[in-house]
Amino acid sequence: MGLDRDQYAPCSRNSNADIAELVDHGAEIIVLSRGMQLILQTCPESILWLDKIRVKHHLLETRDGATMYNELVAQGLSVGGLFHSTC
């Protein structure tokens, strides 16, 4: 039996407030994970806002997002990330 995507509706999006908090704390690049099974979404408004304020962002599967985050940090860049590990 597979996972029912509807059961994850309450946690199905990266929070706009959480994304804004990363920017407020100086993140110049944001890594947003889509979960281990690519269920998590990010509001289109959040992506448009990041584009408008010229903050680079990446939407990736959680493991790929963690790898990207670590690589960017190792380069000395100011990076923020939201990582979802369950769905």
Q: Tell me: the pLDDT tens digits for 25-57?
A: 999 999 999 988 888 888 888 899 999 999 999
What's the pLDDT score for residue 24? 94
What's the pLDDT score for residue 16? 84
What's the pLDDT score for residue 15? 80
Return d(Cα 75, Cα 77) in angstroms, integer: 6
- Sort strands 79-82 and 29-33 into parallel, antiparallel or unpaired: parallel
Structural domain boundaries of the chain? 14-82
- Cβ atoms 75, 15 nearer than 8 A: no
Return d(Cα 39, Cα 30) in angstroms, integer: 19
- Cβ atoms 33, 61 nearer than 8 A: yes
- Beta bridge partners, 60, equal 33
Q: 49 burial class (0-12, 13-18, 19+ CB within 10 angstroms)?
A: middle
Given a cut of 60, whether residue 18 has pLDDT beyond it is: yes
Tell which CATH architecture fits domain 14-82: 3-Layer(aba) Sandwich (3.40)
- State if pTM tops 0.85: no
Residues of the chain with pLDDT > 90, as a percent, come to 60
